Structure 1
Amino acid sequence: MRKDIEYALQKFKVKTFGNKKNIEKVESILRADELVLYISPTNVVITSVNTSKKKKLPGVFVLTDKRILFHYKIAFEESTDTTELSKIDSINCFSNGITGGQIEIHTRTKTYNILVTYKKDLMNEIKDTFEEAINNYTQNNGFGNKESDTDIMQQIEKLAELRDKDILTEEEFQEKKQVLMARL
């Protein structure tokens, strides 16, 4: 399993029981130059803006530094729905005691309603991750340019300082360093 996927699963406390094959399938779809920021087996409601037609689907939802994708397989139908981050108009998050936390992503043609977690602080962290990814993508003129090697090395140096000050554990430092090294 890719290190960025392992990191995202750990960071957001995502349970993968019974979904390892689905995650492996998604991993095979990902491009080598993409960094996975969030991934979760979940239920998604996709609503077509023009027709208001809704599809409720179980599958694996992924946020990378370049796009979102949702892969699902129902009986004999298997499909992957992708949207570049530049096509996302807005993001909302909300929760209630019955259905749990949800992230709602609006594009010009579709709305994705993603079931995420019951924990409000974790739900907000997921929303922040989505917003940060979109902002970073937009700042790079929508082309998803990689950071320079110098920027990444500076980030690793800052992480090392935090580790040396006992703000980060060695394990946390290594995990964050691996994610950054994957961008080189």
Structure 2
Amino acid sequence: MRIDIEQALQKFNTKTFGRKNIIEKAESLLRADEQVLFISPSNIVITTVNTGKKNKLPGIFVLTDKRILFHCKVLFEETTETTELSKIDSINCFGNGLTGGHIEIHTRTKSYDILVSYKKTLMNEIKDTFENAINSYTQNEASGNIETDILQQIEKLAELRDKTILTEQEFQEKKQVLMAKLK
């Protein structure tokens, strides 16, 4: 089992008795460049926003530093749903000892209601983990976009230099200004 999965299971005190197979299946669906932040075998209600159709499914839910993933197997049918963290609009948590704890994740097309521990401190820790993952992902994505934009600008300047629209000195000066923005 991956170390990040073991750490997430331990951090959130997730019960795994009799669920090793589904955890192994979730592990096989993960990419090598992802880090698991939360994982839990759970029941989930997936609601399609435009139709209101609800599916109640048992399976495993995974939060990584890049996406959420839900996998379920009912009889002979397996389904996997993934959503990039940038597509998540909001997260809510609520619950009590009677209904259990719930983490709701809302996107433009679907909502996911994940059953979790009803302990308020644990629910809030799970919610904070989701929010921190989304914020980190958004910041990394934004800085990656800025870097790509600057590199594209330098390429355009090089084309202008090659067409003798800019001198070598002008190119180097503008390039230095853009490179300073990367630091």
Question: Which one-letter code corresponds to 2:55 in the other structure?
Answer: K
Aligned residue for 1:141, secondary structure, equals: helix
Give yes or no for contact 1:66–1:144 (8 Å, CA) kept in 2.
no
Q: Percent identity?
A: 77
Unaligned 5+ runs, structure 2: 146-183
Report what 1:67 is aligned to: 67
**TM-superposed deviation, 1:84:** 0.2
| Paired residue total | 145
Please, what TM-score do these two structures have when normalized by structure 2?
A: 0.77
Report what 1:77 is aligned to: 77
Greater radius of gyration (CA): 2
Aligned residue for 1:8, secondary structure, equals: helix
* Partner deviation per Cα, 1:80-99 (whole Å, 9 max, x = no partner): 10000000000000012311
Following superposition of structure 1 onto structure 2, how do residues 140-179 of structure 1 map, counting pairs within 5 Å? 140-141=140-141
Question: Aligned partners of 1:59 and 1:141: how far apart in 2?
Answer: 29
Would the alpha carbon gap of residues 48 and 75 (structure 1) be closer, same or farther in structure 2, given more than 3 Å must change?
same
Would the alpha carbon gap of residues 144 and 117 (structure 1) be closer, same or farther in structure 2, given more than 3 Å must change?
farther
**TM-superposed deviation, 1:76:** 1.2
Question: Aligned partners of 2:143 and 2:66: how far apart in 1?
Answer: 8
Aligned residue for 2:117, secondary structure, equals: coil
Aligned residue for 1:133, secondary structure, equals: helix
Q: Which has the higher contact order (CA 8 A, sep 6+)?
A: 1
Q: Where has structure 1 moved over 4 Å in runs of 4 or more?
A: 142-145
Specify which structure has the higher proportion of helix. Answer: 2
Unaligned 5+ runs, structure 1: 146-184
Following superposition of structure 1 onto structure 2, how do residues 86-165 of structure 1 map, counting pairs within 5 Å? 86-141=86-141
Report what 2:14 is aligned to: 14
